Chains A and B, each alone.
Chain A
Amino acid sequence: MSAVQTVSQPMALRARRIAIRFRPTRMVLNVILGLIAIFWLVPTVSLLVISLRPASSFGVSGWWTVFTAPTQLTLQNYRSLFSTGLATGGILDSVVTTALITVPATILVTVIASLAAYSLVFGRWRGRSAVFMVIVGLLVVPVQIALIPVAQLYDAFGHLSGFNPYGTLPGVIIFHVAFGLPFGIFLMRNFYTGIPKDLLEAGRIDGAGEWTLFRRVVLPLGLPAAASLAIFQFIWVWNDLLVGLVFLGGNPHHTLTIYLYSFTRTLANDYWVIATGGIISILVPLIVFFSFQRYFVRGVLAGAVK
């Protein structure tokens, strides 16, 4: 036993690696996990293949027949969807609408949450921990609780000011920002607490204002967390269905998820639209996911409490 403990670290590591390599069950494990990985890929592949097959073949032969007859692949579905251009209610219009909601909602949440987190961590006012507790409490509040009152609020605001946010993009954005903030503040605050307070105290003694400290010290240091938050929020809003469905109301411009949902009831006839539109809709989140995977994962890990 004592001999084991005295073996130097690299040697122990090497011994362990060898042990792993020659374990007979390791091969079985690789095969099982390989099958699981394939299983996990199949739905995405099926969507891609259906979008690349002629619309008329849906329901006649399964998408998997493509492996024996690959010549059936065509870009016709994409051409059909893109042919209407930016016409209201079309797929490209939906991409634009989704982006017009997602980008502002993401920027607003990231900026406002960073400011609030700064105030909660580096501010010198009383009751900061109480406020943080309220934020933590708000983390899991379901959006459903606010749908009807906010819709009424929008109406009331419309009567007062002449601009009713209900059914407009700002209406959707305002709602998304509100429900993104608790998590945003939570994430940024947890990150900011790791920044040494001395850094700011030094600045304060030298007479730097809070804005300067935020802008030149905390914001740059907190960029990794801000990136996590922004990516998390981006994918969250991009993929939302419920908030868009409620607050876009009768708006002729749809988000991508609403666009897809509108074809759910005519599934058999229009599945080519769903498959093609589905691929287009997951393209942006996928690009974001693969470009910023580590930030996204970090956001998810931090959001485990949401």
Chain B
Amino acid sequence: MAALPRRRSLVLRHAVATPAAEPGGAATAADALAETGRPPGGGWRSHLGSIVFLAPAAIWLAVIVGYPLVESIRDSFYDNSSTSFVGLANYRTVFSTADILVTFRNNVIWVVVAPFLLTFLGLVFAVLTERIRWATAFKTVVFMPIAFSMTASGLVWNSIMNIDPHIGMVNATMETVSDWFSPPGLYPVDTSAGQSVASLAATGLRAGPGGTLESRALVSPGSTALLGMIGISPETLQLVGAQKAETPSAAAGAVSGLVWRDFSPSHPTARGQVLPDEDGIAGLSLSLVSSTGSSVGTTQTDAHGDFRFTGVSAGSYRVEVASGNFSSGFTGIYWLSGTQSITPTSGLNQTAQALLSIPLVDMSMIIAYLWIWAGFAMVIIGAGLAAINREVLEAARIDGATEWQTFRRVTMPMLAPVLIVVFVTMIINVLKIFDIIINMAPSVSQANTLATELYNVGFASSPPANGIASAIAVILFLLVVPVIYINLRRIR
């Protein structure tokens, strides 16, 4: 039975600190009085005095928050230039425009996924850090991103998730792992870009099974096969150290041959002949396949493109160029794709497809979001954990509860209010998500949320559509109204 350390987090001690009634405070008051030496007054003056202190805040809030709230509601029922009343037309537009409906979908994805993961992560971190000695260091590291702007964080993750493995660390890591298991070939063919292995066959070759090339004619021991390929750049050949193509001599009991680049710069249209300015294709993995389809030997072409399978028994075979030669390896995942969905959407009509797909970019951005906010959840939940009465936990343990039972039956119920606070805070935060989206998602994006759409419609487009933007703003406001209610009840 392991015990939780009694040591409480540094954070909590400060968090729960409330001003103590220091004797110094009274002294200060007395000193102040001695200084001002004002005659005893109070009465209506003090009433007025204290209410005047509220005035700057009250006026400021009334003008910049209160009035605009009412004005936005009004604007949402007026046309885009705020001149004529249009009733619910703006709301109808909002709920019938595909681009705006997509923003609702994204908000739903964010609200469903992010707060849950964040609260979970915060809980795990908070519980685990209670058991290590370097908890303060860990908390500092995880909490630090909150001090960064979401713009900076979004841009950092934009590079981390870049599709190019030379920029994006995620793809670079995946490339390393992928190359371990299936290294890229010397002559990569990017099938995703529309290239095909079959198009490389020129002379005596044709497309074989499973992305291979095979000799058109059957070969038998003692013969020589001439296999020409095209569509391979001189740069690639130079890189692998290919040299001038040379036709090998035949040998008894062996299948010999040449694989060469059947393209001569001096005779661009000549095919099928090995010309002096043509290079061999070096380092190509070949296998000799019998008529039953089984491989009887493998070899590689040399720098001149020559190959020889030795010790071949009589019969007829085909030479096969292995598909591995053309493997383009790992080319990177487009993590910030707004169109690639992580859920299957085939067989749905266009609207359903748009509303039911979950763009990969949303998930990528949520990961960035977790990186920023996990520290926040951890610190708040950690403070909640530290505030739990240790004697209750001790009592549970003494009564024989296991670590897990104590956590599940005692800690969790006592922690529930804190978890709800974190969860609700994150829901509000996520509803308004803006900075990360416009700094991470591609410009024409399926990743827009209500907040970015409001900015696009109301400010970034010209002329601005005030009516529609106001309708979006009001919807955003209505979404947080339940939270206002929860807060008021809790405070009361």
Contact = CB atoms under 8 A, between A and B. Distances in A.
Given A216-B28, A242-B434, A136 B63 contact: no
Contacts of B58: 116, 131
Interface residues of A, number: 136
A13 B40 contact: no
Contacts of B451: 142, 144, 242
Contacts of A177: 60, 64
B155 A125 contact: no
B239 interface: no
B21 A196 contact: yes
A69 interface: no
A207 to B, nearest CB: 4
Contact of B50 (A23, A122, A191, A245): A122
Q: Which of B10, B22, B68 has the most CB of A within 10 A?
A: B68
A207 B38 contact: yes
B148 A46 contact: no
Contacts of B111: none
Given A207-B42, A297-B14, A145 B25 contact: no
B267 interface: no
B233 to A, nearest CB: 20
A285 B147 contact: yes
Contacts of B425: 304-306
Contacts of A246: 455, 459
B49 A260 contact: no
A85 interface: no
Contacts of A220: 25, 28
B96 interface: no
B57 A112 contact: yes
Q: Which of A41, A139, A179, A286 has the most CB of B within 10 A?
A: A139
Interface in A162-183: 174-175, 177-179, 181-182
Q: Which of B5, B28, B75, B450 has the most CB of A within 10 A?
A: B28
Contacts of B492: 133
A199 B29 contact: yes
Interface string A277-306: 010011001101100011111101110111
Contact of A148 (B75, B125, B145, B156): B75
A213 B53 CA distance: 12
Contacts of B155: 260, 264, 274, 278
Given A278-B156, A282-B148, A148 B56 contact: no
Contacts of A91: none
A41 B25 contact: no
Given A148-B458, A301-B379, A115 B473 contact: no
A149 B18 contact: no
A16 interface: yes
Interface in B96-115: none
A115 B56 contact: yes
Interface string A52-74: 00000011111110000000000
Given A140-B483, A298-B14, A148 B28 contact: no
Contacts of B435: 241-242, 257
B65 interface: yes
B32 A212 contact: yes
A101 interface: no
Given A43-B160, A47-B156, A208-B32, A29 B132 contact: yes
Given A123-B53, A137-B488, A264 B19 contact: no
A145 B73 CA distance: 9
A265 B439 CA distance: 9
Contact of B49 (A5, A36, A209): A209
Contact of A115 (B53, B132, B434): B53
Contacts of A144: 432, 450-451, 454, 472-473, 476-477
A306 B39 CA distance: 43
A115 B380 contact: no
A40 B487 CA distance: 32
Contact of B38 (A32, A63, A209): A209
Contacts of A185: 57
Interface string B218-232: 000000000000000
B476 A145 contact: yes
Contacts of A132: 491
Contacts of A304: 380, 421-422, 425
A203 B60 contact: no
A278 B152 contact: yes
Contact of A301 (B39, B140, B380): B380
Contacts of A47: 152, 156
Interface stretch (B163-171, B257-265, B292-300, B327-335): B163-171
A123 B54 CA distance: 9
Given A144-B451, A149-B72, A138 B149 contact: no
Interface string B53-80: 1101110110111011101100100000
Contact of A136 (B65, B152, B376, B491): B491
A191 B16 CA distance: 10
B356 interface: no
Contacts of B50: 118-119, 122-125, 210
23 contacts: A26-B131, A33-B132, A40-B141, A42-B160, A43-B157, A61-B166, A64-B172, A116-B54, A116-B58, A139-B484, A140-B484, A149-B68, A204-B42, A206-B40, A222-B19, A239-B150, A240-B149, A242-B455, A289-B144, A300-B379, A301-B11, A304-B422, A306-B425
Given A60-B166, A136-B484, 19 more contacts: A4-B398, A32-B128, A112-B56, A119-B51, A140-B487, A141-B69, A148-B466, A174-B60, A178-B60, A181-B60, A199-B21, A199-B26, A210-B49, A241-B149, A242-B455, A256-B149, A293-B140, A300-B379, A301-B379
**6 A-B pairs with the lowest CB-CB distances in the bound complex, closest first:** A210-B49, A178-B64, A123-B50, A216-B32, A239-B149, A149-B68
